Structure formats: structure tokens, C-alpha cells
Amino acid sequence: MSNFIFIFLCLLLGMFFRIRKILPEGTAQVLNRFVIYIALPALTIRLLHQVSIGVAQLPAILMPWFLYLFGVVFFLWVQRFRPVSKKSLGALILTGSLGNTSFVGFPLLEALYGTSAISTGILVDQPGTFLVAGTLGILTASIFSSQTPSLKIIVQKVFLFPPFQAVLLSVFLRPIHFSPDFENILEKLAATLIPLSLVSVGFQLKFDREHIRRDWRLLVYGLGFKMILAPLLFSFLAIVCLKSHSREAEIVLVESAMAPMITAGIIATEYGLDAELASLMIGVGIPLSLITVPLWSHCISLWWS
């Protein structure tokens, strides 16, 4: 219970700091940079140094790729029955098909399953969600904004992203034994990830009633797919295909139910898509996920019991 109180407290603090103008407007960007360049790489190196990556870890890596492809098919199908602008459709595909598997996902995994669950979460996030965002996400944004994607830029964005570099570095460091002092340093740096990321998310949460009234149907389609239909589909496939229940499989399914990815909204904005719809998906989806994700965790454990 204390973990969930901590999550709500950090989100509320972020909102309070923005509303009361205690911290400057660029605070979220500064916190995000610290998390991306220091905290997340430290956590990645520390946890993946201890985890063996093999066939058993493939579901965690592949789930976000299949989620994105399912999202593209679903939103193109919706477009046939409820036509929307090209830019709104692109924003829906991005935010409805990419999950917040780190900034919100890691705190929720820790609250639901303990710190050790984050090692599986990193596999979902880095070679999974982030790589999808940096490749298929950029490609989607380019197509729906009528821009021509550059393969060179896509490759640079992927390989120059510090957490992804940390994933590669952790592979090369596996034969090396970490000293207790080095482990302690990594642990202290990694401990800043969850509070800073949650305060950053809270700082960025905004709710515009006018936008909600205008786009509520698209919001229902987007969040309905991301937070209900997609995890339901993956849960059905897992229960049918897997002969036995594993904790890692349960964590992967819970990650599929996470709220829309903040980076997806940033990509949508940078490429001139429907930025208001993207912000709405994130602003409504993240608080809602604090209720729906624990419910999914409970349902999944019941189905497998």
C-alpha cells in the first residue's frame, strides 16, 4: 500500500510544483534528462548484469512490437467506420500503440511485484518499446505528416539513446565482476529513477475540458485499445499458448496494459500531428492506469490460478 501512496504523492507533487509555479517551466525536461542519462542507464546496467538473456526473455522483448502492429491494424479499422484527419489518426496510432513501460511502468511494477520485476520491465522497455518508438514510431509519424523518414536519423536516434547504450554495455560487462562499491554507486543512482520520473510525469499532466469534450470519442478508442483491448488480447493468447504460468509472463502482460508513452506524444508533436489529442491520451491515460493496471494484475493472477 505504501508503494501506491508513494506513486500518487510524487505525481501530486509534480502537479503542485507546476500549478504553484514553484519550479520553472522546463523542470520536466531537466528531470527527464537526468533520468534518461543517469538513473535509467545505472538501473539498466545493474539489473541486466545479473539477468541471463535467452529464448525465455523473447516474449518481453517482442510484446511491444506485436502491440504496435495490432494498434496499427485496429486504428486503421476504426478509420473505416469513423473517419478522422490524417494527423489525428497518426497521433492515435502512436499514443495508442506505445506503452509507458518505464516512467510509469517501473514504479507500478515495483509496487505490484517488487524491485526484481524491473529487470523484466527493462527488457520490455529498451529492446521493446523504445526501439519500436525509434523505428516504427518515427516511420509512422513521418508517413502521417507527409515527411520522408531518414534511415540514418532513425539509426542515430536509436543507438545514441543512453538507456539503449546501457543495454549494449551491460552485455559486454557481463563477464566482469562488479565490486560492492560499484554496485552501491549504481544502486544509489538507480534509486532516483522512480521519484524523479513520477514527479516529471505529474509536472506534465494537464487536463483541458474543451479538448476532452471535442475528442472524447477518439479518446475512448485510443485508451480503450491501449488499456483494455490490447491486454485482453495478449492475456487470451498467453493463457491459450502457455502451458504453465510464470511470473515473467505475468509482468509482460501487465506491461501491455500501461498508459500511453510520453515519448509517443513528443514524437507526435515534433512531426506536426494532432498534439492536443496526443496530450489528452497521455494526460487522461496515466492517472487512469494507476487504477486499471493493478486491476489487470489481479485479473491475470486469478485467470492463471
* 247 CA to centre of own chain: 20
The CATH class of 2-304 is: mainly alpha
List the one residue out of 111, 131, 127 whose CA is nearest residue 195.
111
Single-letter amino acid, residue 35: V
Cβ-contact 247, 228 below 8 angstroms = no
- At 148 the pLDDT is 67
Of 34-48, 119-133, 145-159, 289-303, least confident by mean pLDDT is: 145-159
Contacts of 287-292 spanning 24+ positions with Cβ under 8 A? 287/11, 287/205, 288/223, 288/227, 288/259, 289/100, 289/104, 289/108, 289/227, 289/257, 289/258, 289/259, 290/4, 290/7, 290/8, 290/11, 290/108, 292/227, 292/228, 292/257
Residue 152 reports pLDDT greater than 80: no
What average pLDDT does range 178-200 have in this prediction? 89
Q: Give the model's confidence band at 226: pLDDT under 50 very low, under 70 low, under 90 confident, else very high.
A: very high
188, burial (CB in 10 Å: exposed 0-12, middle 13-18, buried 19+): exposed
List the one residue out of 233, 253, 282, 231 whose CA is nearest residue 95.
282
Mean pLDDT of the chain: 86
Dihedral sign for Cα atoms in the order 82, 86, 89, 93 = positive
Residue 44 reports pLDDT greater than 70: yes
Cα gap 233→236, rounded to integer Å: 5
Distance set, CA 128 to CA 31, 134, 158 (Å): 23, 10, 12
The DSSP output letter for 243 is S
b/e burial code for range 61-85 (CB count within 10 A of at least 16 → b): bebbbbbbebbeebbeebbeeeebe
- At 126 the pLDDT is 79
Place of cell 525465455: 56
For the chain, what percent of residues have pLDDT higher than 70? 95
Task: Tell which wins on pLDDT, 70 or 241.
Answer: 70
What average pLDDT does range 79-93 have in this prediction? 91
Task: Tell which wins on pLDDT, 68 or 2.
Answer: 68
- At 177 the pLDDT is 87
Residue 292 reports pLDDT greater than 90: yes
220, burial (CB in 10 Å: exposed 0-12, middle 13-18, buried 19+): exposed
- At 76 the pLDDT is 95
Phi, psi of 99 (to 5 degrees): -95, 155
> How confident is the model over 87-143, as pLDDT tens digits?
999 999 999 999 988 878 888 998 899 888 988 998 998 788 988 887 888 888 888
Phi, psi of 117 (to 5 degrees): -70, -20
According to DSSP, the residues that pair with 99 across neighbouring strands are 260
> How confident is the model over 153-187, as pLDDT tens digits?
777 777 777 877 888 888 788 888 889 999 999 99
Cα gap 280→95, rounded to integer Å: 10
Place of cell 507527409: 146
Q: Give the model's confidence band at 147: pLDDT under 50 very low, under 70 low, under 90 confident, else very high.
A: low
